[in-house]
A and B are shown apart, each in its own frame.
Chain A
Amino acid sequence: MSGVLEHATRLGPYRARVMGVEPLGGLALVRVELDSRTEVGVPGQFHMLSNPAGRDYLSRPVGLIELDGGVGFVVDQASAAADMAGPEIAVLGPLGRGFDLSETNAETTLLVAAGFGLTVMAGIGRMHRHIRLIAGLRQSDHLPLLECITGVTNDAPRIAPDLVTEPLIEALASGRYTQVLAAGPTGLGTAVARICADHGVASQVALEAPMACGFGACNGCVVPLDGTWLRCCIEGPVVDGARLLA
């Protein structure tokens, strides 16, 4: 890495120091100390992380989480060990569009997230204490992931094959919520957007896509939006749910 990172764009890549890797169920929480020039960004934005000494040839898109006393991110344990253990990693970002939180409050906004999408909700939980989160997990050993998402009021998390859409439909039937913020795989995002549309409730959805660059250069990260294929890293990752239904 020496030499290479002496040159950076205004978004990096800048160095970050890995402060520790903590097991988090079947996942791992990597704590990092960012360069002073790297901003965490708005919830829903992401960073491209790489370790030139690691196994992966490409960077990986990661949502940074503000933690008590620092910043971190969640990866599956195998890749944490192989690539993100440090001592230093390169961080580019923040990239993409995050959530528009101008209308968000704990009374009328509902959060829905599954898998790695849950980490996106950590920042919103810190801003809006007791905001309600409906969480979905692929397997029960990922439950400790919820420990990183402080501030939110959790429903009992749904573990696959249980779906987050069932409690979502119940919650929207109460008429209390005017906005849903969701994060997870495209299938979940589309389901949430459709349910919200059926209930006349606004939705913003943070999508996931494989990414090679994160800044619009490769055209690899397309998602079905507006009835065509558009770059997730440029149009999103956070999009108006209606665009998934076009």
Chain B
Amino acid sequence: MSITVGRLALAQPLLNGSGTWDAEQAHRLFGEANPGLAGFVTKTITPEPRVGNPAPRIAPARQGLLNSIGLPGPGREAFLATLLPHLRTIVDGPIICSVGGFSLADYVDTVAALDDDPACAAIELNVSCPNVESGCASIGGDAGETERLTAAARRATTKPLFVKLSASVADIAVIAMAAEAGGADALVCVNTVKATAVDRRSGKSWFGGGGGGLSGASIRPVALHAVVACREATQLDIVGLGGVECADDVRDLVAAGASAVALGTALFRNPALACAITADLAS
């Protein structure tokens, strides 16, 4: 069931959501870097190394998960020098590099560096992380900034360029059209939905880093709405994600307009889920 999404060819339609799968650890523990997945989407890469937010970073929610992770990672330089070359030796299929930052230059510099690297098959601009102080979601919350950023990234690369959107905006269709006008090849819908947990005694955020995003089954209808809205507003291919747990969830997102579908939080409970869904889709 090979498909194409935003000029990127995939052997089948399943990917992981950025930040919900560690291919190196999976390879070490399970003997396979991306079992059942057509490729691998990296954790969002920031220009500088980041520790991420202090604990606590996760909290259970009914039919979902709340997180405030804060984009920990080795930074652009170490990613390009060490992590990406290693990923290329263990991942089966294309590697899609998720790029984040706090200014337009942050993104463009990383995109330009990735453009030179044959290990990177496609680039995903994360303009929708709810768990960092600035940049990211504030770019993806504004149509003008989204278009400027996408256009600048477009000039910096010929590789397939995806833009990952948030549903925590007034009108996702407007942001989707801005990404299309900027020259994106595909949209990724959706990132976690802005949400939080509070400490009952203090009334403050439960999370060490504040903020918070909701993922899992409870956002599946939100993801479906976002995919429909983006399909109606643009001509772009769409990677649908948000609460996918079984073959029927994949079928729903495809019916709504997605060309490919990504698994996130559901992988935490079952790291072999993509294999199970692929088998189900084939039957």
Q: Which residues of A contact B (CB under 8 A)?
A: 3-11, 13, 48, 50, 56-59, 90, 92, 95, 209-224, 228-229, 234
Are A6 and B217 CB-contacts (below 8 A) given A58-B60, A58-B65, A220-B58? no
Tell me which of A3, A48, A222 contacts B55 (CB under 8 A).
A222
Please tell me if the beta carbons of B276 and A59 are within 8 angstroms of each other in the complex: no
Are A217 and B20 CB-contacts (below 8 A) given A3-B280, A7-B279, A58-B268? yes
For the complex, would chain A's binding face be called helix, strand, loop or mixed by DSSP majority?
Answer: loop
Are A218 and B64 CB-contacts (below 8 A) given A7-B275, A9-B31, A9-B32? no
12 A-B residue pairs with CB within 8 Å = A3-B280, A7-B275, A9-B271, A10-B30, A11-B30, A57-B63, A58-B268, A219-B72, A220-B57, A228-B51, A229-B72, A234-B25
Q: Is B69 an interface residue (CB 8 A)?
A: yes
Indicate the size class of the contact surface on chain B. 35 or more
Please tell me if the beta carbons of B272 and A9 are within 8 angstroms of each other in the complex: yes
Q: Which residues of B contact A (CB under 8 A)?
A: 19-22, 24-26, 29-32, 35-36, 43, 51-65, 67, 69, 72, 216-217, 246, 265, 267-273, 275-276, 279-280
Given contacts A212-B58, A212-B67, 18 further A-B contacts (CB under 8 A): A4-B273, A6-B276, A7-B36, A7-B279, A9-B35, A9-B271, A13-B272, A50-B269, A57-B216, A95-B29, A212-B65, A215-B22, A216-B29, A217-B22, A217-B271, A218-B20, A220-B58, A222-B72
Are A215 and B60 CB-contacts (below 8 A) given A13-B272, A220-B67? no
- Name the distance in Å between B181's Cβ and chain A's nearest Cβ: 34
Please tell me if the beta carbons of A9 and B30 are within 8 angstroms of each other in the complex: yes
Question: Which residues from chain B contact A59 at a C-beta distance below 8 Å?
Answer: 268-269
Cα–Cα, bound, A223→B56 (Å): 9
Please tell me if the beta carbons of A57 and B60 are within 8 angstroms of each other in the complex: yes
Instruction: Determine the residue in chain A with the shortest Cβ distance to B60.
Output: A58
Please tell me if the beta carbons of B268 and A4 are within 8 angstroms of each other in the complex: no
Cα–Cα, bound, A4→B275 (Å): 9
Question: Which residues from chain B contact A58 at a C-beta distance below 8 Å?
Answer: 60, 65, 268-269
Are A213 and B267 CB-contacts (below 8 A) given A57-B216, A220-B69? yes
Tell me which of B31, B51, B65 contacts A57 (CB under 8 A).
B65
Are A10 and B20 CB-contacts (below 8 A) given A210-B56, A212-B65, A217-B25? no
- Name the distance in Å between A187's Cβ and chain B's nearest Cβ: 13
Please tell me if the beta carbons of B267 and A217 are within 8 angstroms of each other in the complex: yes
Cα–Cα, bound, A222→B56 (Å): 8
Cα–Cα, bound, A216→B33 (Å): 12
Cα–Cα, bound, A57→B64 (Å): 6
